[in-house]
Amino acid sequence: MAGKKGRSGPPGNLNNVQNPWRSFWARKALRQQDKWILPALRSYLDEAIEDAGGNDISSGKKRTLEIAQMARGCAMLILKEVGDKGFVITTPDGWDMHPGLKELSRFLALELKARQNVGLDRIKQAPLSIADIMARYEDGEDTGNDEDHRESGQ
């Protein structure tokens, strides 16, 4: 079976692809009219990998971030469809919410869970050095203790 010029193997072959999900999204998973999400998904994954520690993270974490990326893509497609058809739809029994809205929370929860599994559930702050703590103390800044407020009468 002959392939396309510039690609190895038959069309749809994902062997030896550096970023298989990118190829899968671009070649197989999306209809032509939905390919507008590809740049957003690429930047989403790149930013998530950077937040997780760059390209030095494990392949398992990368796969987990790809799951988050897929959930984000599904949520974006649902929101586009809801935007086109409206939140409320007419049914034979009267009206109802768009069916996609009922599934949206599942995709958002899946994305959040995948990001938490990688360790992106909170913003990490660098610990303060002893010099910074001493400088705050000497400047009289609020240390966050309730006792400071009680002593000053506030």
Strand partners, 94: 91
**Segment (H or E) for 89:** strand 88-91
**Segment (H or E) for 103:** helix 99-118
User: What residue type is assigned to position 84 of the chain?
Assistant: D
Number of compact structural domains in the chain? 1
Could you tell me the residue range of the domain that residue 62 belongs to?
20-123
pTM of the model: 0.61
Per-residue pLDDT tens for 18-29?
666 666 667 667
- State residue 149's pLDDT score: 43
Q: Is residue 110 part of a domain?
A: yes
- State residue 102's pLDDT score: 80
Q: Is residue 7 part of a domain?
A: no
Q: Are 65 and 48 in contact (CB under 8 A)?
A: yes
Q: Is residue 63 part of a domain?
A: yes
DSSP code string of 35-78:
GGGHHHHHHHHHHHHHHHTGGGS-HHHHHHHHHHHHHHHHHHHH
Q: Is residue 40 part of a domain?
A: yes
Report the alpha-carbon distance of residue 78 to residue 65 in Å, rounded: 20
Q: What is the mean pLDDT of the chain?
A: 78
Q: Is residue 129 part of a domain?
A: no
- State residue 71's pLDDT score: 93
Question: Mean of the pLDDT values across residues 106-118?
Answer: 91
